[in-house]
Chain A
């Protein structure tokens, strides 16, 4: 029932895109409420008083915050269809490890590469390319990060896909040239309707990146 599930999200958010992909993979309907996290609406503050950030998934009135936690929640509640995490505890731990890596290591340089300038940006680009390399190595020859099955870690990284062009533009590098395996993997993911529908147009993201760059003083 759509009125049981609400998603507070902001259109450019890579984290919100993860949750949207996951909900689509499970075939779950929900009400989408566009929520600009720079404007702290009463609903946002009520549902995420600690961080006041999006996305927030509200299920039967109860909020779940943090996108990777939302992914696990969605997988556990709608466990009968399209499992996103492997059932083997070791494989599950690996998926969680890399999801954590993406948010703890990859995230920071991934925004600094378009959001900063000068030495800070140069350092961010170097770090970002190292992390892309690590992620490509982890993918290896697999179809998806989950093996044969599109899952948790694929969603965790594909959430960032709309921002890839912005990273390339401001960082002056080409993901296709540097990371061909990763590029092929993105193409496979983009064959999925859940992914295509959740992602935002990359050009709109670049426009938005310009707005943020001005805000951050990088422009």
Chain B
């Protein structure tokens, strides 16, 4: 349904922007996507997010909402009667989903990014080990949360699926960069299978960037030091 007063400031390559777009897709909300130019910050972005000056920013009826996980919750609540629920319905399940989404951002993503910024083999090996340990935690979290269903959220993708799944493009790019499998079919079989289901979800498929295009962008964002 068209809601002409919804805008999203973002970039095709950003994990955090993708979260907001998946949520909007789940609710079938149409919006104007305002693509930021790499290397610059638009006036609208700076005005809408003066505290962090970062994307994504959702602007709904001229009111800005910032921080991807907060935007996803806002979308779920503002359009609660549209489409499936993004957050689980029970308070305990919601707390668990929020806990793990925070873990993804504060612990897992930091480790993943440190593979790209590692200087030398030792640092890279340590970063990889950290990602593997934290991915293992997420495998267990998936088993607990999904309860035999296809997604963290059960039958449909939800808050935690979006929080982690939005990283799948970059996950692959980092694997290539590190020449090391980081989503292992034998070590974390549940997550491995979930990843494929997530990427094939109609709300996600059109948004997941091509690995080659993202890898090229990654080289710009994380240039390798001169040999």
Which positions in B face A, CB cutoff 8 Å? 51, 60, 63, 65-67, 70-71, 73-74, 77-78, 91-92, 94-95, 98-99, 102-103, 137
Contacts and interface: CB of A to CB of B under 8 A. Distances in A.
Contact of B91 (A66, A73, A93): A73
A77 B92 CA distance: 9
B91 A69 contact: no
A69 B102 contact: yes
27 contacts: A64-B92, A64-B99, A66-B98, A66-B102, A69-B95, A69-B99, A69-B102, A72-B94, A72-B95, A76-B91, A76-B94, A77-B91, A90-B60, A90-B63, A90-B74, A90-B78, A92-B73, A92-B74, A92-B77, A93-B71, A93-B74, A96-B67, A96-B70, A97-B65, A97-B67, A100-B67, A100-B70
Contacts, number: 53
Contacts of B78: 89-90
A142 interface: no
Contacts of A26: none
Interface of A: 50, 59, 62, 64-66, 69-70, 72-73, 76-77, 89-90, 92-93, 96-97, 100-101, 134
Dominant secondary structure of chain B at its interface with chain A: helix
B114 to A, nearest CB: 18
Contacts of A59: 92
A62 B99 contact: no
Contacts of B91: 73, 76-77
The 9 closest A-B pairs by CB, nearest first: A89-B77, A76-B91, A93-B74, A89-B78, A73-B95, A64-B95, A93-B65, A96-B70, A69-B98
B99 A66 contact: yes
Nearest to A59: B92
Contacts of B103: 50
Nearest to B70: A96
Contacts of A76: 91, 94
A92 B102 CA distance: 18
Contact of B51 (A50, A69, A72, A134): A134
